């Protein structure tokens, strides 16, 4: 019918999970509370654990990860099983605000050529003796460029905010990189690849809640972090041309090596980071951690208290 509005695209939400049933139920409840009026399905992918058929109800489907073990393989299993035109991610320990898709889908569709959209986040730190603390993190703009992402990880562009065109994931942009050690930084890699093709759309509002707690799988996985960051440097040549971005990655590696007990390696990476950019704070923290003055676990906890990541 002439003049009839175009139908809203369907959205498949991929939730990868492993042995966190209570957190998973909280995440699913927030997704089902979405005010999105288009089609919605939720694909829960059980990674290295038995699927729980009891949670399969209504729009929720339950499958096993049939690809490589880990988060990247689990996300890809969900993408391939999805039926929606758009694919969103939500980590099993995070939650959405009801208006997330309602605001995000139109923003992605309005940008011709865009393949990925993000939103801002609330970082909620729980644990310890005090109450949980929430810190909003929102990108100051509506387009995230490749240069932005090389210079900074932009933690507000968190995977629990990702919304992507499924067709791009299947042909062009490509699936999540399953070769990254431990799936560490798989979300950052996907952002970089997407931004290389077209700026990432950013909705300037905190519409996802990222819950930080000691059970997060990458907490203290130092050796995996170091190897994955080395993989990222080899895969993305843009870092070699940006001393600030390169120093940030090297500073992270310094901290990771200090965490493994490789103090000489930590110092070498920290000094390399400072040669590239003398104001890189992670390099100074890496030097402190390499001497034992400041433990890498303490660095992580202090970063969480400020609403910032590793």
Q: Which domains does the chain carry?
A: 11-212 (3.90.550.10), 222-305 (no CATH)
Helix, strand or coil for residue 66?
Answer: coil
pTM, two decimal places: 0.90
Predicted local confidence at residue 128, as pLDDT = 56
- Mean pLDDT, 10 residues at a time, over the chain (310 residues)? 67 96 97 96 96 95 97 98 98 97 97 96 76 87 97 95 98 96 95 98 97 59 90 96 95 88 92 94 86 69 52
- Separation in Å, CA 174 to CA 72, 129, 169, 191: 12, 44, 4, 12
C-beta separation of 119 from 94 below 8 A: no
Distance of alpha carbon 236 from alpha carbon 195, whole angstroms: 12
Q: How many Å separate Cα 251 from the centre of its chain?
A: 20
Which residues are paired to 119 by β-bridges? 203
Predicted local confidence at residue 3, as pLDDT = 55
For residue 65, report the phi and psi dihedrals to the nearest 5 degrees: -70, 115
Which residues are paired to 164 by β-bridges? 87, 116
CA atoms within 13 A on the CB side of 19: 6
Predicted local confidence at residue 309, as pLDDT = 52
Residue 247 has which token pair? 């120093």
Directed axis angle between helix 243-260 and helix 263-276, to 10°?
170
249-307 confidence digits (pLDDT tens): 999 999 889 888 899 999 999 999 999 999 998 888 888 888 877 666 666 665 554 44
44-76 confidence digits (pLDDT tens): 999 999 999 999 999 999 999 999 999 999 999
Residue 277 has which token pair? 């950019």
Torsion of CA 33, 153, 139, 167, to 10 degrees: -50
C-beta separation of 96 from 104 below 8 A: no
Distance of alpha carbon 117 from alpha carbon 162, whole angstroms: 6
Residue 259 has which token pair? 């965490």
Distance of alpha carbon 288 from alpha carbon 296, whole angstroms: 9
Residue 279 has which token pair? 């104001």
Q: Where are the alpha helices (DSSP H) in the chain?
A: 21-32, 71-81, 100-109, 146-151, 166-170, 186-197, 222-235, 243-260, 263-276, 281-291, 296-305
- The closest of 275, 276, 216, 283 to 252, measured between CA atoms, is 283
Predicted local confidence at residue 308, as pLDDT = 52
């Amino acid at each position: 019918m002439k003049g009839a509005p175009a139908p809203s695209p369907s959205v498949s939400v991929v939730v990868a999970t492993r042995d966190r049933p209570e957190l998973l139920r909280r995440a699913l409840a927030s997704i089902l509370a979405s005010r999105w009026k288009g089609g919605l399905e939720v694909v829960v992918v059980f990674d290295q654990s038995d699927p729980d058929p009891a949670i399969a109800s209504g729009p929720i489907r339950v499958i096993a990860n049939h690809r490589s073990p880990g988060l990247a393989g689990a996300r890809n299993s969900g993408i391939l099983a999805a039926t929606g035109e758009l694919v969103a991610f939500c980590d099993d320990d995070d939650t959405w605000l009801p208006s997330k898709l309602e605001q995000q889908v139109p923003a992605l569709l309005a940008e011709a050529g865009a393949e990925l959209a993000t939103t801002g986040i609330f970082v909620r730190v729980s644990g310890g003796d005090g109450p949980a603390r929430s810190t909003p993190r929102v990108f100051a703009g509506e387009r995230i460029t490749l240069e932005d992402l090389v210079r900074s990880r932009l933690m507000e562009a968190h995977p629990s905010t990702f919304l992507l065109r499924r067709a791009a994931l299947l042909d062009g942009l490509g699936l999540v990189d399953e070769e990254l050690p431990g799936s560490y930084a798989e979300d950052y890699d996907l952002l970089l690849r997407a931004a290389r093709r077209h700026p990432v759309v950013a909705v300037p509002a905190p519409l996802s809640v990222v819950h930080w707690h000691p059970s997060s799988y990458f907490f203290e996985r130092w050796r995996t972090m170091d190897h994955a960051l080395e993989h990222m440097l080899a895969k993305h040549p843009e870092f070699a041309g940006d001393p600030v971005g390169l120093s940030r990655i090297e500073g992270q590696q310094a901290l990771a090596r200090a965490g493994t007990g490789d103090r000489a390696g930590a110092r070498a990476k920290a000094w390399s980071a400072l040669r590239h950019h003398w104001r890189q704070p992670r390099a100074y923290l890496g030097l402190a951690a390499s001497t034992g003055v400041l433990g890498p676990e303490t660095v992580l906890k202090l970063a969480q208290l400020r609403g910032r990541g590793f």
